[in-house]
Amino acid sequence: MTSAGVMIGTASVVLMVAVGFGMERSVTQQFEQFAIATDIQVMPGAGMAAPGSEPQPKRSDQPSVLDEDAVRAMEKLPAVKAVMPKVGMGATMRYKDYTFGQQFYAVDMRRLEKWGAKLDSGRLPTGPSEVLAGYAVPVIMLAKDGMMTSDPTTGNQPRLDLLDKQVKIEFQGVFSGTTEPPPPVTKKLRVVGILKKADFSQDMTVFVPMKTAERYAGLDPRKTEYQELTVRAKKVADVEQLTKDITAMGFQAFSPGAEMGATQGIFRIIQLVLGAIGGIALLVASIGIANTMTMATYERTREIGIMKAVGASGGQVRLLFLIEAAVIGLLGGIGGLLIAMATAALGNLLVAGLGTGPENPFAGGGGLFYIPAALALFAVAFSAIVGLVAGTLPAVRAANLDPLAALRHE
């Protein structure tokens, strides 16, 4: 019964903390889905100081707009792995009765390849009559009226066969910031490649070569200004300093990775609070262990006297009771961990049964409960320590019993 109490206490602690870990993992995966920890979003305008740093004045010899000069200046920074400039476009793509109108970007295909975009099938566009589709585009086009009932990037949905197919794209014009968008132009282009699954933004984008945008959407190659671009650092450790360097160049720079770090700090606090709540049950169980071991010293007083009479020392008697208390805690911890793992698995199955849409953020991230190996080992070890501590006073009492008084005990 005492071990059962420890099982319940351990299971409560593990499940409470597992909820915190599950929430953290779900949010972290959403960060990774929408942005990579080494990416820095850069926008034009006056530089904004990075969190915790003093505003840095813009140097007079630095570019003031996000144009090719700015891109080349950022590419020369030693901590930069790649720079991905892109121009947002208003466009609609049609193939037979299917339509896609979510997100179009004009990009330099050589930079896209250097950026690390990988092909799922086909090849990169090499001419002005070719385009590239993100991983989720064939899924979205196949959905009725473009309305998705689940995450189109999971890879489990039916996909429209777009590879090497001729599509019609109606260009509404590129918002370059220098001229009015030209009248809509409809052209027949060929989808020559489908990208592998990457981040959410890339998966739901049709990429158009810069030359195509210049030809059909009115982009002026002499005055191209980017609304935003993404800088990828070589290492996560470079992100903070790189953000400051870009800010000093006169641009607004923001790193989603910094926000992820702050969010993880909040979840550490949540895990501690939930663990403390679950620990109340383990505290009650420790009182049960102390009570059991205390009663054992009374019930086995005569046995203790016999052990001392035949030569057992007080330290040996104390060690015997401590080991017994620790074993009670250890067995309870192992049993509680097994109960917690079974309950977590059942809970995750129930959560997964609610669907995979945006209304259920835990379905795609592995579930509401997450029990890492470190938590499992800590729970078992902590339960054994709780048993050891709870059995200390009874063990000391047993060790201090007078052998003659113990032998006369009835």
DSSP secondary structure string, 304-354? HHHHHHTT--HHHHHHHHHHHHHHHHHHHHHHHHHHHHHHHHHHHHHHHTT
Average pLDDT rounded to a whole number, residues 237-250: 85
| 163: nearest Cα among 139, 142, 133, 125 | 133
Task: Judge if 265 and 368 occupy the same domain.
Answer: yes
- Which comes out higher in pLDDT, residue 385 or 222? 385
Domain that holds residue 229: 80-233
Residue 150 domain flag: yes
Task: Judge if 182 and 274 occupy the same domain.
Answer: no
In this predicted structure, the answer to whether residue 207 has a pLDDT above a threshold of 90 is: yes
Task: Judge if 27 and 84 occupy the same domain.
Answer: no
> Which of residues 188, 216, 233 is at a domain's end?
233
Cα angle 33, 35, 37; round to 5: 115
Task: Judge if 206 and 274 occupy the same domain.
Answer: no
236 DSSP assignment? G
Residue 39 domain flag: no
Task: Convert the pLDDT of each residue in 274-283 to its tens digit.
Answer: 778 777 877 7
Task: Judge if 273 and 374 occupy the same domain.
Answer: yes
Task: Judge if 281 and 388 occupy the same domain.
Answer: yes
Residue 64 domain flag: no
Residue 241 domain flag: no
Residue 84 domain flag: yes
Task: Judge if 28 and 84 occupy the same domain.
Answer: no
Which of these ranges, 29-43, 60-74, 177-191, 291-305, has the smallest mean pLDDT?
29-43
Residue 71 domain flag: no
Given this model, what pLDDT does residue 47 score? Answer: 45
What is the average pLDDT value for the chain, to the nearest integer?
78
Q: Are residues 87 and 176 in contact, defined by beta-carbon separation less than 8 angstroms?
A: yes
Given this model, what pLDDT does residue 262 score? Answer: 64
Task: Convert the pLDDT of each residue in 82-117 to its tens digit.
Answer: 888 888 888 899 998 888 988 898 888 988 888 888
* Partners of 233 in the β-ladder: 80
Task: Judge if 101 and 218 occupy the same domain.
Answer: yes
Task: Convert the pLDDT of each residue in 182-206 to its tens digit.
Answer: 678 888 999 999 998 887 778 889 9
Q: Are residues 406 and 301 in contact, defined by beta-carbon separation less than 8 angstroms?
A: yes
* Dihedral class, residue 83 (left if φ above 0, else alpha if ψ from -120 to 50, else beta): beta
Residue 170 domain flag: yes
Task: Judge if 25 and 148 occupy the same domain.
Answer: no
Given this model, what pLDDT does residue 49 score? Answer: 42
Task: Judge if 105 and 20 occupy the same domain.
Answer: no
For the record, the structure tokens of 11 come out as: 């299971």
Report the share of the chain in percent with pLDDT over 70: 77
**Mean pLDDT comparison of 85-89, 189-193, 340-344, 355-359, highest-scoring range:** 189-193
pTM value? 0.56
> Which of residues 218, 233, 248 is at a domain's end?
233
Task: Judge if 108 and 192 occupy the same domain.
Answer: yes
Go through the chain and tell me how many residues it has: 410
Residues 6+ apart with CB under 8 A from 372: 21
Q: Into how many domains does the chain fold?
A: 2
**pLDDT band at 144; cut points 50, 70, 90:** low
Residue 205 domain flag: yes
Task: Judge if 400 and 278 occupy the same domain.
Answer: yes
Given this model, what pLDDT does residue 55 score? Answer: 43
